[in-house]
Structure 1
Amino acid sequence: MKFRKAGIAAASVLTLALTVSACGDGGKKDKGDSGSTGGSDKGTIKIGIKYDQPGIGQKTPDGFAGFDVDVATFVAKELGYAEDKIEFVETPSADRETAISRGDVKFIAASYSINDEREQKVDFAGPYLLAHQDLLVAADSDIAEGTDLNGKNLCSVSGSTSAQNVKKTIAPKANLKELSTYSECIAGLASGSVDALTTDDSILAGYASQEQYKGKFKLAGLKLSNENYGIGLKEGDTKLKDQINKALEKMVADGAWEEAVKKNFGPAGYKNEPAPKIGDIVK
């Protein structure tokens, strides 16, 4: 009788052990299935970009175009995602940190300057481009220095720190016109109602490179600030950060970075800085 009870107990222990073992194997398998960096269970990756910045990130009837789009696409491919597995998500400047923290996107490449305030909320890979605040003027303009703007019409978007920087440092008597979009400013520059447009030189070069404006504008080359463009990602995701940095280094080494610069900014005569070294933030 005692022997029979012992046999039943042993069988129960064996059954429990097999059940635990099966659950453990299943858990490992599930972890492996969902552990691909940068994507989702559907095999796609969501990347935040700008939709309205020609030369940087723009949604067009033919798809998406711009330097940031080229950088993001190269990085995604290095992470294992073909172009048809990339989903670009519009991320306006004010929404970038929120989009990352919510998990709406895996990373963001959207003229995203690295600074101390943003680094408190997200991590950055890169930088992948060093831009500068500058002026865009008519091709035949005699505006060579910022002081030439005193008494003339300076345009930027509403709330722009770039415009305030110009007025504070080099042209306090410039007539500031704040419009809703850079497109409105550049239309004013084309018509002559605006003498200069200010923001990052990369953004200015992108607008000036549009087909209808080729040859009509030039950059003043003032370098009024240093803007280190980085790829924003979730804070603490060191694995993804390292993978993106390696991809950026490869893009430079392969010559794809320089090719993207010429393609997106070249028509405006943009004199770009050399590709920055990873982690080298120019203050």
Structure 2
Amino acid sequence: MKLSKVGAAAAVAVALALTATACGSGDSTKPGDTGSSAGAKKDKIVIGIKFDQPGVGLKTPDGKFTGFDVDVATYVAKELGYEPDQIEFKQAVSAERENLISNGDVKLVVASYSINDKRKEKVDFAGPYFLAHQDLLVRADDTSITKAEDLNKKKLCSVTGSTSAQNVKTKLAPEADLLELGGYSECLTGLENKKVDALTTDNSILAGYAAQDKNKGKFKLVGLSLSNENYGIGLKKGDKELQTKVNAAIKKMEADGAWAKAIEKNFGPSGYKAEPAPAVTEGS
């Protein structure tokens, strides 16, 4: 009799422990959840952007993110079901954008990412959402460079993996002394220190640098349209469902006025006049 009482007590203890465990399991949250009511929320989305392009994609010293691409990424993410606090921005340098997408390190890349056939062999795009033109940035007192051909025998800087430098080198000024660095800010330092004669990339990016308070009066855009650069949103190759959703978000952003507001906010202060929103053609 004594033994059976002990056995019964043990059984009760086990039952209570199991009950407590079952109740406690309701408190666990998935990655990205913020509490017991967050079960309906999606996990975070990781988006690749540039960290060093004022007006386009910039990480400020206080850890915030600003720029047109940031606004586009935030809008698109919201249309996909993600609030701003569920977005993780990851640096996407030009030479690593395809790898970041292919390896699954990011879901999307919104990083002044020009659509071209070579890149489309590795990734898919949504958009385009912006049309830029390749230009040159030179020192404000430089009158020797007024066209692309003037770069022959001069030092030209751009970033590794950028289409802009190769466009100049192969088509416009084959005798240019091309220097490719990791970021545009490094090229800008070289331009200011007279180690290079010009920096080439999209006019939107160049305008953002020239408009910074610390750079005002130091540099100028030559004012060329050396190429058409249609910015797209990069995503994993073959993900047609995501491509369709992102295209719809871009169209909605343009239709409801948010696109125009983002243009004015990010480029208006520099005096840069952006092209009208391009037609969304990828995936169609």
Q: What is the TM-score normalised by the length of structure 2?
A: 0.74
Aligned to 1:237: 239
Aligned to 1:45: 45
Structure 1 99/161 Cα, relative in aligned 2: closer, same or farther at 3 Å?
closer
> Aligned pair count?
242
In the alignment, residue 266 of structure 1 is paired with which amino acid?
G
Cα deviation, residue 70, structure 1: 0.8
Unaligned runs of 5+ in 2: 1-39
Aligned to 1:56: 56
Distance 1:84 1:78 in 2: 14
Aligned to 2:261: 259
Q: What is the TM-score normalised by the length of structure 1?
A: 0.74
Aligned to 1:89: 90
Q: How does 1:66-81 map to 2 (within 5 A)?
A: 66-81=67-82
In the alignment, residue 234 of structure 1 is paired with which amino acid?
K
Distance 1:178 1:233 in 2: 26
Distance 2:264 2:217 in 1: 15
Q: Indicate the SS of the match to 2:111.
A: coil
Structure 1 218/261 Cα, relative in aligned 2: closer, same or farther at 3 Å?
farther
Cα deviation, residue 97, structure 1: 2.6
In the alignment, residue 69 of structure 1 is paired with which amino acid?
V
Q: Indicate the SS of the match to 1:55.
A: coil
In the alignment, residue 241 of structure 1 is paired with which amino acid?
Q
In the alignment, residue 85 of structure 1 is paired with which amino acid?
Q
Q: Indicate the SS of the match to 2:272.
A: coil
Aligned to 1:270: 272
Q: Indicate the SS of the match to 2:267.
A: helix
Cα deviation, residue 134, structure 1: 1.1
In the alignment, residue 136 of structure 1 is paired with which amino acid?
L
Cα deviation, residue 76, structure 1: 1.0
Distance 1:101 1:280 in 2: 18
CA root-mean-square deviation: 2.7
Matched residues, percent identical? 65
Q: Indicate the SS of the match to 1:247.
A: helix
Structure 1 263/41 Cα, relative in aligned 2: closer, same or farther at 3 Å?
closer
Aligned to 1:125: 126
Unaligned runs of 5+ in 1: 1-39
1:56-85 alpha-carbon deviations (Å, 9 max, x no partner)? 222221411121111000111122221111
Aligned to 2:248: 246
Distance 2:181 2:121 in 1: 31
Distance 2:124 2:160 in 1: 28
Structure 1 247/157 Cα, relative in aligned 2: closer, same or farther at 3 Å?
closer
1:181 lines up with 2:188 in the alignment: no
Structure 1 75/268 Cα, relative in aligned 2: closer, same or farther at 3 Å?
same
Structure 1 280/209 Cα, relative in aligned 2: closer, same or farther at 3 Å?
farther
Q: Indicate the SS of the match to 1:132.
A: strand
Distance 1:234 1:159 in 2: 19
Cα deviation, residue 155, structure 1: 2.7
Q: Indicate the SS of the match to 1:231.
A: strand
Distance 2:162 2:105 in 1: 27
Structure 1 254/217 Cα, relative in aligned 2: closer, same or farther at 3 Å?
farther
